Structure 1
Amino acid sequence: MTNLTQTKQMISMVRKYERMSGRQSWNEEDMAKAVAAVVSGKMGYKLASRTYHIPRSTLQRRASKIRYQQPDEPKPLMGHYRRVFTDSQEKDLVGYIKSMEKYFMGVSRRDIRELAFQYAEDNHLNHPFDVNSRMAGEDWVRNFLKRNPELLDRSDHENILEPVNFDQFYHFMCQLS
């Protein structure tokens, strides 16, 4: 009988459960309002936290996810490698390279590596490129050319006279934009 009474007491305890901590006592609507106020700049973290009764650290984490999220983030790849450019950014690079080939005599792999580094720096992207040499890596350019095989077709560019001065071209392209 004692086991039966203990079981009944345990069941009655569960029905009368009262939460002891105040963790996550806020609701999602208040969180959304607070995040919107912080992201729009109407309130700071402290004021929004006090106004909407939300923990400041949670508000900071949620707001930073929205504030620093890029609308067109690169898709993650398998393994520990990550893409530097989005698909639209790679299309821009391909367009730059094609116009380099059109207006100037030729484009070397080195030019593509320099262009990729400069493009990543100008767009403030996180990249694993070498800052000392100011170029993308050889593996990156090899994979970039595999993803864009139209750049490998060099049949009409058999008579390449000299490599192009990358800095001149990049500034030329910036002026056109």
Structure 2
Amino acid sequence: MVRTYRRKTDAEEWSQEKMKEAVNKVQNKELTLRKAAEIFAVPFTSLQRRVTLSRGIIKRRGGQPALDENAEKKLADRLLHLASRGFGITPKAVRKYAFEFAERQNIKHKFDRNAGMAGQDWFHRFMQRNKKINYSEAGGSVKSKV
């Protein structure tokens, strides 16, 4: 899997806030789909899909994370708590802990059950999404930036 993806299209150049506003205006019957797409400068088909199919639920572009935002925040907070207590946690330990966390919370996941841990790519993307956590490649452990 590619760790440093470079976008090849100019898709989704509009902001999520504008899309949410447009969806709200259409659902409240203040504007038509085409008029809202024109006013808020969002693609008509994307707006239509969000209004008719997903009822306004907006997912991230591309593949969805294994853990939802709340679960990932709980995991990140726990790692920060451990780091503040002086536990330097290795990436492998974080990956194992993420697997155990998902199992305990009964979260549907695609982690490797044979290895009993999340993958390396998941770890790198998790670290990109959670900037408060500092990963020192030299020391090989996870630390708090605070």
TM-score between the two structures when normalised by the length of structure 2? 0.50
Bigger radius of gyration among the two: 1
Q: More helix by proportion, 1 or 2?
A: 1
Q: TM-score, normalised by structure 1?
A: 0.42
